[in-house]
Chains A and B, each alone.
Chain A
Amino acid sequence: MITIKNLSKTYRTKKQNITAVDQLNMTIESGEIFGVIGYSGAGKSTFVRLLNRLEEPTAGEIIIDGKDIVKQRKNELRLARQEIGMVFQHFNLLWSRTVHQNIAFPLEIAGVPKKERKAKVDHLIELVGLKGRESAYPSQLSGGQKQRVGIARALANDPKVLLCDEATSALDPETTDSILDLLVDINKRLGLTIILITHEMNVISKICHRVAVMDTGKVVEEGDAVHVFQNPQQAVTKRFVQQLDGSEKYESLSSAVLNEGTGTIIKLSFSGENVNQTIVSQTAKQCDVDINIMQGNVLQTHSGAVGSLFLQLVGSETEVEKALNFIRSANVKAEVQELV
């Protein structure tokens, strides 16, 4: 779908040259949600703006659907842009236009006749859940609603690709979740390829299939999102993984707790492959053990749970052994914690 070859962008200022994007190579498959994560200044915005040439690349190729965007002339580029939707951190809606008129704007640009425009906009308003608010002005909407307008507007010309630059960064956590749900919904329903830029790890973990970690203009790590979390190689990536509720803290149990506890303490590790989410209650049903949840940090990702959970199992030795085998048979790693 999108192939990026040796893409570079150098900003030339009087004082210095800043290479914001440095020799990037990437392939993004059709229909996937591809996340790009990095700290502020890593070059994420520059990268995504290169994709529709809001910034002119210094070098490289961007092939979207077989066409090299970099080589396109002005008019070709305008038409190509109509097939690339873009969603912004600060929404960038026209405040002089109502919700309906804002969503109709890209259709006006594409020269869609008025009647068709209306039908299309009505459909989009329904899709993003803004029915009843079509004649409101942006100033009368909440942040989440504004972003829904932004998304509907980006979808108006049936794009093949949706670029989201920090689309949820100006929103509170709950609104963020609802917008992410909307993006997943759109991705599934329309089969749209989504490129999502963020500095928040939970955004990636919740919806991205694949992720690229950017640092000083380069991709330092790339791959299946769950895999990259579980085996972070680079220091930057490790820092992002820790961002997930400071998961480091939950990686081990303090020795005081371990020694005081009766029964057997085990650590379950979820690696994202296990779909069986009722493992704890099933173990209790299948085996004659009492289960006490000690502590844990489990994150639900699009491909299952990731994280660890400490359980205390109280019961006879054979029943505890049976419980362990049962858990392991469900493809969850279970380790008995030794007393110190």
Chain B
Amino acid sequence: MFEKWFPNVDIADLNTAIYETFYMTILSLIGTFIIGIILGLLLYLTSKGKLWENKVVYGIVAAVVNVFRAIPFIILIVLLLPFTDFLMGTIRGPSAALPALIIGSAPFYARLVEIALKEVDHGVVEAAKAMGAKNSTIMVKVLLRESTPALVSGLTVTAIALIGSTAVAGVIGAGGLGDFAYFYGFQRRQTDVVILCTVLIIILVFVIQFIGDFISNKLDKR
């Protein structure tokens, strides 16, 4: 059956490609999450009227975030080649795609984190202050905790964008489904491979969206 519909697909190669896509998406998502939360918190806390109000720091962080968000991903990969080589020791394979993937999507997620934190009622922060809470307690137990549903849905959006980026990274030989489709489909004109990869990516996106919505709804007690 499978061979009849997809005569040109090599199952072993496909498995590797799927594995590589998962590998890149999951690891870069973890990196994006950590850096995005840090940058997002920094943006929020240093903005006007907040715990660490500081125009200079806010200006610098905001500028960095904006610059990296403005660079198209395909160009970012090329720009980062020397950095990637230095960091990972290679510029090929799924691991080599990670720095570009993380640097490309962390600023995006940081903005989503900032928006999520802004949605936390200032009165609640004030109540925590009035109870004598430390800033660290306010950050963890009030700001981050109260915004978890928004942080999760933001992460879902970011994860889906990341899957798109992993496919683009395939062009420079990062592996994964994008690479697979490009190599067999575009260079060898094997349309069935392209279609299969597309279907798989669509399924992956749907599953992530579903899981993300589910978790976010579960956490949302408003």
Chain A residues in the interface with B (C-beta under 8 A): 52, 54, 77-82, 84, 86, 88, 90, 92-96, 105-106, 108-110, 137-139, 153, 157
Contacts and interface: CB of A to CB of B under 8 A. Distances in A.
B140 to A, nearest CB: 11
Interface string B31-66: 000000000000000000000000000000000000
Interface stretch (B128-136, B163-171, B190-198): B128-136
Interface string B133-147: 110010001100110
Contact of A82 (B124, B131, B219): B131
B149 to A, nearest CB: 9
B130 A54 contact: yes
B148 interface: yes
B124 A94 contact: yes
B121 interface: yes
Contacts of B145: 94, 96
A84 B130 CA distance: 8
Given A109-B132, A109-B133, A94 B126 contact: no
Given A82-B131, A82-B132, A109-B137, A96 B126 contact: no
A135 to B, nearest CB: 11
B188 interface: no
A95 B127 contact: no
B131 A79 contact: no
A109 B148 CA distance: 20
Contacts of A138: 221
A95 B222 contact: yes
B72 interface: no
Interface in B87-128: 121, 123-124, 126-128
Contact of B134 (A78, A86, A94, A96): A78
B130 A81 contact: yes
A90 B125 CA distance: 13
Interface residues on B, range: 20 to 34
Contacts of A77: 132
B126 to A, nearest CB: 6
Contact of A92 (B124, B141, B148): B124
A105 B131 contact: yes
Given A54-B126, A88-B127, A139-B221, A94 B132 contact: no
Give the secondary structure class of B's interface.
helix
A136 to B, nearest CB: 10
Interface of B: 121, 123-124, 126-134, 137, 141-142, 145-146, 148, 219, 221-222
B215 to A, nearest CB: 14
A139 B220 CA distance: 10
A137 B145 CA distance: 15
A96 B133 contact: no
A75 B124 CA distance: 21
Given A86-B127, A92-B126, A79 B121 contact: no
A88 B148 CA distance: 24
Contacts of B126: 54, 88, 92
Contacts of A84: 130
A90 B127 CA distance: 11
B212 to A, nearest CB: 18
Nearest to B126: A54
Contact of B221 (A80, A81, A82, A137): A137
B137 A95 contact: no
Contact of B132 (A79, A93, A139): A79
A84 B123 CA distance: 17
A88 B123 contact: yes
Contacts of B127: 86, 88, 92-93
A235 B141 CA distance: 47
A94 B120 CA distance: 10
Contact of A94 (B130, B146, B219): B146
Nearest to A90: B123
A148 to B, nearest CB: 15
Nearest to A150: B127
Interface centre among B145, B148, B219, B221 (most CB of A within 10 A): B221
Contact of B146 (A52, A54, A96): A96
A96 B219 contact: yes
A106 B128 CA distance: 8
B152 to A, nearest CB: 12
9 contacts: A88-B123, A88-B126, A92-B123, A92-B124, A96-B145, A106-B131, A109-B131, A137-B221, A139-B221
